[in-house]
Amino acid sequence: MKIQHQPFNHRARWLHKTFLTDTLGSWLIETGSLTARLQRSYDYFSVMPVMVKYAKPTQEEAVLLFQPTYKAALIREVLLMGNHQPVVFAHSVLPRTSLRGPWNGLGRLGNKPLGATLFANPKVKRTPLSYKKLTPNHLLYQHATQHLTQKPSYLWARRSIFSLNCANIMVTEVFLPQLLAT
């Protein structure tokens, strides 16, 4: 079955370049493992699972993963913690077909970082990063801020797709205010 790419309205588009030049900009454009950078930046790093369940991805996510919109995928949402504070919210979409073969164990990561697994295999390919300024009406903003006491007026996010042997996984990382507070 061939999936037709649906046009999205202009506000839904993700940028191919970020225009930030401040400290957050270096985090957004980091092409290496974000997990590894966080581990270097904080004395204490951990992963706190928030939600792991099979659900339908958004239409945009399904299209980008070449998956029919009616098929459920494993949705994993975690907080990446630096010195016991949430610094990044990560939202991953793992289609069932991608959880076979070499990525068979990705559905059972628990409090282990997905990034460590993805960057450990040199055969894993990654699409270029894309960026979005999330406002309070965006679903990812709402999920990312549900554990914050103070909600900012916007958050920056980035996403990319990781591929291995025709299996694709989308990872979106939302940068939280505490990242720059330390």
Per-residue pLDDT tens digits for 76-135 = 999 999 999 999 999 999 999 888 888 888 888 889 999 888 898 899 999 999 999 999
Higher pLDDT, 81 or 15: 81
pLDDT at 3 over 80: no
pLDDT at 162 over 80: yes
Q: Please, are residues 51 and 164 in contact by the beta-carbon 8 Å criterion? A: no
Half-sphere exposure of 129 (CA within 13 A, CB side): 20
pLDDT-derived band of residue 31, with 50, 70 and 90 as boundaries?
confident
Sorted by where each begins, the domain ranges of the chain are 24-181
pLDDT at 58 over 50: yes
Give Cα 167 distance to the centre of its chain: 16
Give pTM, 2 decimals.
Answer: 0.89
**What architecture does CATH give domain 24-181?**
3-Layer(aba) Sandwich (3.40)
